[in-house]
Amino acid sequence: MKRFLGFVKKEFLHIFRDFRTLVILFGIPVVQILVFGFVVSTDLKNAPVAFLDLSNDEITQKVSDKICSSGFFRRGETLLNYNDIDKTFRKNKIKAVIIYEKDFGRKLISEGKASMSIITDGSEPNMATLITNYITAIVTDFNRELAGSQTTGKLMVQPEVRMFYNPSLKGHFMFVPGVITLILILICALMTSVTITREKEFGTMEVLLVSPLKPVQIILGKVMPYFLLSFINVIMILLLSWLVFGLPVKGSLVLLLAESMLYILMSLSLGILISTVSKTMQQAIFISFVGLMLPTILLSGFIFPIENMPSGYGWVAALMPPKYFIIIIKNIMIKGTGFLYVWKETLVLTVMASAFIWLSIRKFKIRLG
Amino acid sequence: MKKFGNFVANDNLNFEVYEGEIFGFLGANGAGKTTAIRILSGLSESTSGEVIVAGYNAKKQPEQIKKNIGYMCQKFSLYADLTVKENIMLYGGIYGMRKALIRERTDILLNKLNFREYGDRFISDLPLGLKQKLAFSVAVMHEPKIVFLDEPTGGVDPITRRQFWEMIYETAARDITVFVTTHYMDEAEYCDRISIMSEGKIVALDTPVELKKQYDAESVEEVFVKIARPGNTPHPTPISSRGEGE
Amino acid sequence: MQKIIESSGISKKFGNTQALKDISFDVSEGEIFGFIGPDGAGKTTLFRIIATLLIPDEGKMEVLGLDSVSGFRELRKNIGYMPGRFSLYQDLSVEENLNFYATVFGTTVKENYDLISDIYSHIEPFRKRLAGKLSGGMKQKLALSCALIHKPGLLILDEPTTGVDAVSRAEFWGILRKLRQHNITIIVSTPYMDEAMKCDRVALIQEGYILSINQPEKIREGFSRKLFSIKAPEKYKLINALRSYPGTVTAYPFGDSVHVTFTDDKFNDSIYDYLGKMGISNVVISESRAGIEDRFLELMEKGTKA
């Protein structure tokens, strides 16, 4: 045990001595979350807004014009009934729907108030809040104008946030699950494979092999620090996305963390597997990037929806562990579903992790050549 | 003899190397050999003093110097994934030799080394001894005025080693200066003159025979151990050590 | 005396390359046993087999009374191995490296400090320095300390002096001599012939087979002819002239002279005339004692002729 702890201590020293490793470990997740977060969701310019005008009178026209001439929004589709709302959102063509109640203009004059609703897409919570705030501000402005005219009365705005959680994996609000998936595979697989091949390249592995350390101890010793660091990373990313973008974990946090551990384990064993087939750090980095990073970005549904891919790619995507983790994490974080909805994906990951661990321990050579 | 080069890095580093001379440049790890070689080959500048290599001023005409020197080191010299002929073509091209001339010299070179059959083989498939000899031949193919060799015969077998030194003698006989750095003292015994550097200074410079006489030693190694023993200070930038990360 | 290594008929192939061929030797307790040969002779492969890192294709290797293949686990606790590239962690300090290896081998620096104190005291003033920032000689000493820290019965040093300057090399051999007091058996490899003289016994190795095993003095005595050392100012001319001289058997440059053997082991004054005609004057001929390298050359020649 003392041997093992000594080994783990050495691994931590390596990590903390190497500035670049630290930057990769903690800098990249932060930067990615911030970049994706801001680039993707806060650009409110000419956002398309659909109108469901059940009254269609002079006043509703005026309000619509004011909203659309603000520069923040532009007129999107004109809807005819409630059923169209879901459809347009799903087509991902609009950011918000504004609904005027029946007899809007008449009610405003006779009752002194009329209601309108704003429906936004809650899967982009950041954007939803932003849009609601802007429209409310425009309407408040309109109310002020009304107060100065003969028409007395007040427009009541009822913001309504609907959850279009986008079950078809479309849209780009998925950056948090995507980033977690990517970061974990990057840290776990890339870092572990590099640290093992580094020992091979520098000739220190020879002496480790000659020492009484068992292969399992070497592997676990290599894996342990990265397991811890990855776990810290998950928590960091979740905190960051919650604090900066207000994205909460809707489902069980415990379940999410448990699933993350499973995924981390799978990635780590993948890293060891890579190290057993590569002789140099360069090879390990190459395999990790081409074999893991690119597929994770391109094929896991992180950026490009899987069902838009030609069928062959879909099959390849099915072999990518990140795909399953993205599904799991989206379910828990965004839909707030429980284990019952993700048990299949969990099973797939468990099988993959066990296979990789078994393979990597088997393939880890106790000798050279 | 024609004065060939003049090298001053500081007040204590003053030496001349003559045309056609085999000059051994020795020093302990970290004594400053690498720095000196970089300055001589025009890769870096001396902070003060004057350096003239092959008749050119190292500060003002580094490009001229590069055209007139050859370089071979033990670790890297030829591209392992190119064939013998491709390597020769490449180096000839780098030194701006005409195609016809390269072809002519290639023939001579391969014949001289009894290399005919190896022309189309990959460098990685050649035994170490052949690689070393080929690397040296390539380094002097463009008829430089001076060739720098860094530990040229480290690790080769005794026969190959002697063939290598005969090649060096032959090159020097063609009036090409051979500048050898090494920390293997038996290699130094082959040189016409040697200098021993310690902590940035040249502490001895003479023929091996004279130095042995002067220090009452049986071998250059003994001379070296007597005068080049540096204090137990570690050198922040080791010149030659096998660990990675430098 | 107890045998520490007994090797019989070890062979090893990598693809089509025969790295080792029928290697048999034994090493006794407390010996410094050297393997002398050029790069590619198979020294590293042999050392890796002894260190349980490779399995031989043929033959039997017993180390410290254990079979190096089946007994590898037990054996690994009792050998100290210093590979050709010093196995130090460049980003760890001197002290951290030493402590790490001590822990891994289940001991502490304190426990075996007396064994390494001679060596380690040279580098101890720099114990906080990163290993990557040490000079070659210091790295060598640190790597040796690390290999010794668990008091191994057998120390395996693969080319410990390559790339290290002459001063550090001289010190290193001094250290190895001292280690014999602690009854540690040492096998060491080197491509440098002159280092053979510092071993108790040596094996000359070339292209995967052993040319000769003996005490270095005996190996020198094995030289079969009389050797002459010839000097003249113009070495290159001299070598060529001597090669063309009818009485010459072999002529090799050796430092500032040429080592020559003649038919019937003697020469007559006609050689001066001969060389004079070739334009070589001031010739000095003296009888010389063959060194390890002369013998190595002779054995290599026999090998190629056979």
Q: Which of residues A144 and C92 earns the better pLDDT score?
A: C92
Q: What is the pLDDT of residues B138-162, one digit of tens each?
A: 889 888 999 998 888 878 888 888 9
State whether B57 and B161 are in the same domain: yes
Final residue of a structural domain among B122, B143, B164: B143
B228 touches chain C (CB under 8 A): yes
Residue B4 confidence (pLDDT): 41
Write the CB contacts of B149 (distance below 8 Å, at least 6 apart in sequence): B72, B73, B136, B139, B168, B178, B179, B180, B181
Q: Does A14 touch chain B (CB under 8 A)?
A: no
Burial of C278 (0-12, 13-18, 19+ CB in 10 A): middle
Q: What is the pLDDT of residue A308?
A: 61
Q: Which residues of A touch B244 (CB under 8 A)?
A: 201-202
Kindly state whether residues B135 and B153 are assigned to the same domain: no
Regarding whether C262 and C207 lie in a shared domain, the answer is no
Cβ–Cβ under 8 Å, residues B187 and B16: no
**B3 min Cα distance to partner chain A (Å):** 45
Do B138 and B153 belong together in one domain?
no
Q: Are residues B122 and B155 in the same domain?
A: no
**Residue B159 falls inside a structural domain:** yes
Amino acid occupying residue A72:
F
Q: Are B152 and B64 contained in the same domain?
A: yes
For residue B47, the domain's CATH number is 3.40.50.300
- Chain B closest-CA separation from residue C285 CA (Å): 16
Residues B175 and B125 in one domain: no
Query: How many interchain CB pairs under 8 A, A with B?
Result: 4
Residues B155 and B165 reside in one and the same domain: yes
Flag if B156 and C126 touch (Cβ within 8 Å).
Answer: no
CA dist., res. C186 & res. C119, Å (int): 16
Is B245's Cβ below 8 Å from some Cβ in C? Answer: yes
State the sign of the Cα–Cα–Cα–Cα dihedral B224, B225, B230, B234: positive
Instruction: Kindly determine whether residue C55 and residue A202, on different chains, have CB atoms separated by under 8 Å.
Output: no
Statement to judge: residues B131 and B10 lie in one domain: no
Contact A202 C77 (CB under 8 A): no
Say yes or no: C43 and C167 in one domain: yes
Instruction: Tell me which of B97, B123, B143 is where a domain ends.
Output: B143
A368 touches chain C (CB under 8 A): yes
* Residues C212 and C103 occupy one common structural domain: yes
The predicted-structure confidence for C6-30, as pLDDT tens digits, reads as follows: 999 999 999 888 999 999 999 999 9
- Using alpha carbons, select from C282, C168, C273, C296 the residue that is nearest to residue B209: C282
Q: Domains in chain A, start-ordered, CATH in brackets?
A: 2-39+170-363 (no CATH), 43-162 (3.40.1710.10)
Q: Which among C54, C20, C58, C18 has a CA at the least distance from the CA of C37? A: C20
3-state secondary structure labels for all residues of chain C: CCEEEEEEEEEEEECCEEEEEEEEEEEECCCEEEEECCCCCCHHHHHHHHCCCCCCCEEEEEECCEECCCCHHHHHCCEEEECCCCCCCCCCEHHHHHHHHHHHCCCCCCCCHHHHHHHHHHHHHHCCCEHHHCCHHHHHHHHHHHHHCCCCCEEEECCCCCCCCHHHHHHHHHHHHHHHHHCCEEEEEECCHHHHHHCCEEEEEECCEEEEEECHHHHHHCCCCCEEEEECCCHHHHHHHHHHCCCEEEEEEECCEEEEEEHHHCCCCHHHHHHHHCCCCCCEEEEECCCHHHHHHHHHHHHHHC
Considering only the beta carbons, identify the residue of B29, B127, B240 that sits closest to C40.
B127
Asked if C211 and C234 sit in the same domain, the reply is no
Do both C279 and C154 map to the same domain? Answer: no
CB-based contact, A20 to chain C, within 8 Å: no
Indicate if C42 and C175 belong to the same structural domain.
yes
d(CA A349, CA A322): 9
- Residue C208 binned pLDDT confidence (cut-offs 50, 70, 90): very high
Q: Mind listing the pLDDT tens digit for each residue in A107-123?
A: 888 887 888 888 887 66
Chain A residues whose beta carbon lies within 8 Å of the beta carbon of residue C100 = 6-7, 9-10
Contact call for A203 and C87, based on CB within 8 A = yes
Which of A185, A181, A159 has its CA nearest to residue A169?
A181
Chain C residues touching B28 at Cβ < 8 A: 137, 165-168
Q: Which helix (H) or strand (E) holds A115?
A: strand A113-121
Domain that holds residue B188: 1-68+145-231
DSSP string, A282-304: HHHHHHHIIIIIHHHHHHSSSSS
Query: Is the pLDDT higher at B102 or at A158?
Result: B102
Asked if B230 contacts B199 with a C-beta cutoff of 8 angstroms, the reply is: yes
In a domain, B83, yes or no: yes
Q: Which residues contact B210 (CB under 8 A, 6 or more apart)?
A: none
| Span A240-266, average pLDDT | 86
Give all strands (DSSP E) within chain B, no chain letters. 3-8, 14-18, 22-27, 51-53, 56-57, 69-73, 146-150, 177-182, 193-198, 201-206
The pLDDT assigned to A38 comes to 66
Whether residue B226 lies inside any domain: the answer is yes
The answer to whether B234 contacts chain A (CB < 8 Å) is: no
C100 and C189 in a single domain? The answer is yes
CB atoms under 10 Å from CB of A248, counted, come to 14
Distance from CA of A218 to the nearest CA of B (A): 22
Residue B221 to residues A346, B157, B217, C165: CA-CA distances in angstroms? 69, 20, 8, 10
Same domain, C107 and C242: no
CB-CB neighbors (< 8 A) of C91 in chain A: 13-14, 17-18
Average pLDDT, chain A: 81
Say whether residue B218 is in contact with chain A using an 8 A CB cutoff. no
C274-293 mean pLDDT: 91
Check residue A301 and give its pLDDT: 67
With beta carbons less than 8 A apart as the criterion, state whether A152 and A112 touch: yes
Note whether residue C304 is domain-resident. no
What would the two tokens of residue B232 be? 């137990």
**Domain extent for C259:** 227-289
Chain C contact present for A254, CB below 8 A: no
Task: Measure CB to CB from residue C87 to each of A17, A18, A207 and give the nearest one.
Answer: A207
Q: Is the residue at C241 inside a domain?
A: yes
| C135 and C39 part of one domain | yes
DSSP single-letter state for residue A122: T
Indicate whether B12 belongs to any domain: yes
Tell me if C103 is assigned to some domain. yes
Task: Choose from A152-161, A334-343, C177-186 the range with maximum mean pLDDT.
Answer: C177-186
Alpha-carbon gap, residue B5 to A181, rounded angstroms = 63
Q: Which residues pair with A78 in a beta bridge?
A: A51
Tell me if C1 sits within 8 A of C29, measured CB to CB. Answer: yes
Total number of domains constituting chain C = 2
Return the closest-CA partner of residue B29 out of B188, B245, B198, B224.
B198
Q: Assess A10–C contact: CB distance below 8 Å, yes or no.
A: yes
Task: Give the residue from C197, C200, C221, C215 showing the smallest Cα distance to C295.
Answer: C221
The A residues from 174 to 213 touching B (CB cutoff 8 Å) are 201-202
Residue C222 within any structural domain of the chain: no
Distance from the B158 Cα atom to the nearest Cα atom in chain C, whole angstroms:
6
| Same domain membership, residue B152 and residue B62 | yes
CATH number at residue C7: 3.40.50.300
Give domain status of residue B173, yes or no.
yes
Q: Which of B241, B244, B246 to mutate to test the interface with A (most CBs of A within 10 A)?
A: B244
Residues C104, C231 within the same domain: no
Contact status, residue C208 vs residue C42, Cβ threshold 8 Å = yes
CA distance A281 to chain B (A): 13
Q: Which of A69-83, A122-136, B154-168, C156-170 is the least confident region?
A: A122-136
In a domain, B86, yes or no: yes
Cα gap B189→B184, rounded to integer Å: 9
Give domain status of residue C95, yes or no: yes
List chain B residues with CB under 8 Å of A202: 243-245
Which of A13, A203, A366 lies nearest to residue C85, judging by beta carbons? A203
Asked if residue B242 is part of any domain, the answer here is no
Are C22 and C167 found together in one domain? yes
Q: Is the pLDDT of residue B84 over 60?
A: yes
- Candidates C144, C167, C207, partner chain B, best to mutate (most B CBs within 10 A): C167
pLDDT digit string (tens) for B103-122?
Answer: 888 888 888 877 778 888 88
- Number of domain units in chain B: 2
Residues in chain A: 369
Q: Which of C216, C235, C266 is the last residue of a domain?
A: C216
- In this structure, the answer to whether residues B64 and B149 fall within a common structural domain is yes
**Residue where one domain finishes, among candidates B117, B143, B169:** B143
For the CA atoms of B159, B161, B166, B167, the dihedral, rounded to the nearest 10 degrees, stands at 120
CA–CA min distance B19, chain C (Å): 15
| pLDDT at residue number A256 | 92
Asked if residue B6 has pLDDT above 50, the reply is no
C-alpha C50/C-alpha C156 separation (Å) is 8
Q: In this predicted model, what pLDDT tens digit does every residue of A67-99 receive, in sequence order?
A: 888 888 888 888 888 888 877 776 767 888 888
Query: Rounded to a whole number, what is the distance in angstroms from the first to the last CA of chain C?
Result: 36
- B55 and B133 share a domain? no
What is the model's pLDDT at position C31?
94
- Tally Cβ neighbours within 10 Å of residue A267: 30
Whether C221 is in a domain gets the answer: no
CATH number at residue C271: 3.30.70.100
Q: Does residue A44 surpass a pLDDT of 80?
A: no
Instruction: Calculate mean pLDDT across residues B27-33.
Output: 74
Whether B62 and B157 share a structural domain: yes
In a domain, C306, yes or no: no
- Which residues of B fall within a CB distance of 8 Å from A206? none
A103 lies within 8 A of chain B by CB = no
Chain C neighbours, 3+ Cβ pairs < 8 A: A, B
Q: How far is B234 from chain C (nearest CA, A)?
A: 6
- Helix A215-245 and helix A253-277, axial crossing angle in degrees, nearest 10: 140
Q: Among A13, A210, A369, whose Cβ lies nearest the Cβ of C76?
A: A210
The residue in chain A having the minimum alpha-carbon distance to the alpha carbon of residue B242 is A202
Residue C128 lies in a domain: yes
- Nearest-angstrom CA–CA distance, A224 and A265: 10
Same domain, C212 and C231: no
What's B226's DSSP letter? H
